[in-house]
Structure 1
Amino acid sequence: MIQKKDVEFYKEEGYLLVKGVFNMQEVEAMRSGIDNIIRRAAEAKRDENAAWDGDYLPKEQIRRLVLKGFHNVHYHDSVFLNALFHVNMVSVLKKLIGPNVQLHHSKMLVKPPEKGAAFPMHQDYPYFPHEKHSMLAASVHLDESNEENGCLRVIPKSHKQGVLSHVGRHYLNHKEYPISSGTPCPAEPGDVLFFNYLTIHGSDVNKSGRNRRNVLFQYRDASDFPIEDTHFDWGMGLMVSGENPHFDKVTPKYTIG
């Protein structure tokens, strides 16, 4: 699926767009899965706005913006379990992370037409810091994504800066790192953007008349352990490729009440 030069690009730049990981039939199945999750959330009265608050945009603008976001989508619909184990995904992950790959968590992000919320520039590290920084995100595009509908933006090579100070764990100082400072990463349905959790990224408002639907999977090396208990999901540690070399660390520590 990818070549040596692509792996070298990822290591140097901190991100990699891989074209055509999923075909249109698979994309359509995931679109239906997202639509059904949103419908069931509304029926369960759990349809909340996941847009970030803050001072990166004027308050009156933030209040008008909407983001549909839910975690653990592979528990809501089997289409996402199939996606995170997809042969093309695993092929890429083994080259970017190594032979032993674990899932950390999954989520969906939907920016509705004309009012889809922005994500200010940030690193994912503060949410789930790990020892070896193998953690990466695989953002699966289910719609054509460009600057008009708020495509992902990254700052190339920013993963080499290490861990940066964030505002309340959420995002970087927007005056130093405005959304416009990121390089746009336009993509087509079925493409996947892989980026390290230290790579600075974000996205602008969806100003178009189209949806911008993404599913995001976070993966890590099985020998890369968390240094803080800041994020827990039930699917954490699921082996996607290879084996877990650590027999006593096959599940996170948790208590069932």
Structure 2
Amino acid sequence: MNTLIATIEKLQKEGFSVINSVYSEAEITEIIDCITKASADVRSDENAKHVFAIRQLMKKIPELKSLLFTEKFHELLKNVFEEDCFLTKAIYFDKPSESNWFVAYHQDLSISVDRKQDVSNYTNWTFKKGQYGVQPPLDILENIVTVRVHLDKTEKENGALKVIPKSHLKGIYRPETIDWTTETEHVCEVEKGGVMLMKPLTLHASNRTTNHKQRRVLHLEFSTKQLAKPLEWQEYCAL
């Protein structure tokens, strides 16, 4: 319990934290098998050789819910939030050894909603891959916690996230204004079956894979706040 409390305290203070051994080897194998079967169906539908991402993951693979939301995972969320939370977004990312990319420093400023509506303080609307995205008020972004479940051991050489500690405390922080004379960079290496917690306003990036090892991650976002009506979370899922 002391380790968990220290993990949550670091998340609040630094904007990120890592806790390993959240899932057993057997649990990770079940999750991977479930996604692998679904990925085969996606490849068939899209005529693709490889699936790099599956968005709206819980809607497309609902059987994942029982595999992911274990007793240990619920205990983690209970300590992260002071009240009942719910899932707002779920994405599966696969950065394979033979074909990969880098991601420049950024904050996650957009949420997925069920419609486009002119609502005060909801700005920068987008429509991508069949869903609406919008930048909500700061208090919504500050309430979200991202939980990244690592299905592979993730190191600096295969795309572990780089973060700028405490950048989540500075509101909207444009990457082009980063002052590297005062900021530091931290690489978040995570064991297979481990979890990385992150505030969406934490500046983060990742390099290309150089060690020819796969990096598969489940990107899950949770919140306790409802949106301004009539907007609803596109991927709302009660726990």
- TM-score normalised by length of structure 2: 0.77
> Cα distance 1:201–1:220, how it changes in 2: closer, same or farther (>3 A)?
same
Unmatched tracts of structure 2, length 5 or more: 112-134
> Cα distance 1:129–1:182, how it changes in 2: closer, same or farther (>3 A)?
farther
Q: How far off is 1:120 after superposition?
A: 1.5
Q: How far off is 1:85 after superposition?
A: 2.2
| Cα contact 2:152–2:215 (8 A) shared by 1 | yes
Aligned to 1:197: 200
- C-alpha separation in 2, matches of 1:143 and 1:44: 26
Q: How far off is 1:176 after superposition?
A: 6.3
Measured against aligned partners, the alpha-carbon deviations of 1:151-175 in whole angstroms (never above 9, x if no partner) come to: 112111111111224xxxxxx3398
- C-alpha separation in 2, matches of 1:226 and 1:198: 18
Measured against aligned partners, the alpha-carbon deviations of 1:91-139 in whole angstroms (never above 9, x if no partner) come to: 1112212221011011100001043122211111234535342101100
Aligned to 1:97: 81
Residue 141 of structure 2 is aligned to residue 129 of structure 1: no
> Cα distance 1:116–1:34, how it changes in 2: closer, same or farther (>3 A)?
farther
Larger relative strand fraction: 2
Residue 215 of structure 2 is aligned to residue 208 of structure 1: no
Q: How far off is 1:182 after superposition?
A: 3.5
Q: How far off is 1:78 after superposition?
A: 4.1
Matches within 5 A, 1:69-88: 69-88=53-72
| Cα contact 1:182–1:202 (8 A) shared by 2 | no
Residue 135 of structure 2 is aligned to residue 164 of structure 1: no
Say which is worse superposed, 93-102 or 40-49, in terms of deviation: 40-49
Measured against aligned partners, the alpha-carbon deviations of 1:4-41 in whole angstroms (never above 9, x if no partner) come to: 33322111111111111111111111222232232211
Residue 144 of structure 2 is aligned to residue 141 of structure 1: no
Say which is worse superposed, 193-202 or 32-41, in terms of deviation: 32-41
- C-alpha separation in 1, matches of 2:43 and 2:49: 9
Residue 104 of structure 2 is aligned to residue 120 of structure 1: yes
Match 2:159 to one of 144, 150, 153: 150
Unmatched tracts of structure 1, length 5 or more: 50-66, 166-171, 241-257
Partner secondary structure for residue 210 of structure 1: coil
> Cα distance 1:124–1:83, how it changes in 2: closer, same or farther (>3 A)?
farther
Measured against aligned partners, the alpha-carbon deviations of 1:195-221 in whole angstroms (never above 9, x if no partner) come to: 011111121111222211001111011
- Counterpart code for 1:19: N
> Cα distance 1:123–1:41, how it changes in 2: closer, same or farther (>3 A)?
same
- Counterpart code for 2:148: S
- Counterpart code for 2:60: H
User: What's the Cα RMSD here?
Assistant: 2.8
Measured against aligned partners, the alpha-carbon deviations of 1:49-106 in whole angstroms (never above 9, x if no partner) come to: 8xxxxxxxxxxxxxxxxx7011122233345212442222221112212221011011
- C-alpha separation in 2, matches of 1:83 and 1:123: 29
